Amino acid sequence: MLTNLWYVVLPSSQLNEGLKPVQLLGQHFVAFRDEGGTARLLSDICVHRGGSLSAGAKVGGDVQCPYHGWRFGGDGVCTHIPAQPDLHIPMRARVDAYPTIERYGWIWAFLGDLPEAERPPLPTLDWVDDPGVRVVSGHFDWEASWDRVMENGLDFAHAPFVHGSTFGDPDHPEIGSFSVEREAWGGSALMTMRRPVRKGWRRKPTGQHVEVATRPGFHLSGPCVTLELAPRDGWKIYIVSAHTPVDGKRTRTWWMMGRTFMRWPLLDRRVVASNLKIFNQDLAVLSKVRPERVPDSWLQEVSVKSDALQIAFRQKIKELEERGWRIDEIRVEREFTGRVACVVPSPERRDGGPWAIETIPIVAR
C-alpha cells in the first residue's frame, strides 16, 4: 500500500449531514461536511484518549469526540475542551487533516504529506459529466489485495477462461500484439477483443463473434483501472474502477460505467447486474490466488508479452516505492497494532511543530 496518492473515499451523494467512518490503507478516518458543505477527512483517532471521532457527533462544522467531547475543526485543530473551557488549547491538540477534491461524483482524498504542487493529478474522466453518456455506478468489496485487483482489470488474457459466459471467447483465447502507451502516472494500450455474439433473453452464443476496439488503462490516482470499448460504429462504453485498499487483504472498488447508446433508464438495472456478475467471476479466482499480494520479485512469476500492461503497472509501483511511499505493513503489525497509534502523515506535518500521534512507518529506500 502506498501513501502520497489520491484515493476515492466515497461518492459525493453518500456524504450528507452526519459523520462517515472510512477505512483506507489499514487506517481509520472520519469524513464529514463542514458548515460550508466542503467535504473533509480527518484521522479518526482523538489525541486525548484515543476515542473514535467517527463514533461522535457533528457540532456545527466540528467533529465532537464521543469520549470527552473534544471538538476538532475541518483543519484538524482542536477548538474546544469541555472539561477546561478556559484552558489555552495545547498545540499538540490536533489530528491530521487531508486535502479533498469532489470530482466526477466522487470525493477524492490525498493521503500523504506532499505539498500541492508535487501531488499527482486525478485521472481525466470527462465522460462522467457528458449529458450524452448514461452513467450507472456502484461498489464491490473484495477479499483480495488492491494490487492483485488492479492487475486483474488490466489482464485480458483471462477473459476467455474466467468470463467465458459473459464477454470472453473461450474458442479464441489469443491476444494480438499491442504496445503500451506510458504516461507519468499511468498507461494504456489499444487492443482488439473478440467478443462472442449472444442472442435471446438467456444470451446464448450464436457461434459468431465480433472484433471490438478496446483500450484498457490505469492511473495511480484512485488508483483506477479504466476501459473504453467501441462495440459498434458510433457506440462507446466507458468504465472506471477505483480500487481503494481497505487494508492489505481487502479492497473496495467504486465503479462507474457509461454508455452512449440505449440510454434508457430501464436498462440500468441490467447493466449493473452484468457488471457485478463480472466482478464475482473475478473474485472466485482472486480469492484463491497465491501469494495474496503481487510478488516483490519479477523472478517469482513467469510473464509473457500479453502481460505488458500489468508489467507497466508493476514498474510504476516500483518507482513510487523507490521514492519511499510504501507503507511498512510488517512493522505496523509488529510494532504498532494494539500498542501505538499511527496515522498517515498530512501536509501540515511538513510545517513542523509538535504532534501527539506517530506517523505510519515507511519501507526504507
What CATH number is attached to the domain comprising 66? 2.102.10.10
- DSSP assignment string, 221-285: TBTEEEEEEESSTT--EEEEEEEEEEETTEEEEEEEEEESS---GGGHHHHHHHHHHHHHHHHHH
Taking all residues of the chain, what is their mean pLDDT, rounded to a whole number? 91
How confident is residue 110, by pLDDT bands cut at 50, 70 and 90? very high
pLDDT at 317 exceeding the cut of 80: yes
How confident is residue 26, by pLDDT bands cut at 50, 70 and 90? very high
C-alpha to C-alpha distance for 252 and 358, rounded to whole angstroms: 26
**Residue 121: is the preceding peptide bond cis (ω within 30°)?**
no
Q: Are residues 132 and 103 in the same domain?
A: no
Q: Is 291 part of a structural domain of the chain? A: yes
Q: Are residues 211 and 286 in the same domain?
A: yes
Q: Are residues 178 and 307 in the same domain?
A: yes
Least confident of 112-116, 174-178, 336-340: 174-178
76: nearest Cα among 351, 328, 361, 360 = 351
Least confident of 52-61, 65-74, 193-202, 251-260: 193-202
Q: What is this structure's pTM?
A: 0.93
**C-alpha cell of residue 166:** 459473459
Q: Which domain holds residue 16?
A: 5-118
Q: Are residues 87 and 146 in the same domain?
A: no
Q: Is 152 part of a structural domain of the chain? A: yes
Q: Are residues 114 and 131 in the same domain?
A: no
Q: Is 98 part of a structural domain of the chain? A: yes
How confident is residue 155, by pLDDT bands cut at 50, 70 and 90? confident
Q: Is 342 part of a structural domain of the chain? A: no
Q: Is 328 part of a structural domain of the chain? A: no
pLDDT at 160 exceeding the cut of 70: no
C-alpha to C-alpha distance for 360 and 331, rounded to whole angstroms: 9
Look at the chain and report how many structural domains it folds into. 2
Q: How many residues does the chain have?
A: 365
Give per-residue burial for 294-314: e unless 16+ CB within 10 Å, then b.
beeeeeeeeeeebbbbbbbbb
pLDDT at 132 exceeding the cut of 80: yes
245-279 tens-digit pLDDT: 999 999 999 999 999 999 999 999 999 998 899 99
- Angle in degrees, CA 64, 333, 253, rounded to 5: 65
Q: Is 174 part of a structural domain of the chain? A: yes
Q: Are residues 206 and 292 in the same domain?
A: yes
Q: Is 104 part of a structural domain of the chain? A: yes
pLDDT at 184 exceeding the cut of 80: yes
C-alpha to C-alpha distance for 148 and 145, rounded to whole angstroms: 5
Q: Are residues 163 and 47 in the same domain?
A: no
Half-sphere exposure at residue 134, Cβ-oriented, CA atoms within 13 angstroms? 14
Q: Is 333 part of a structural domain of the chain? A: no
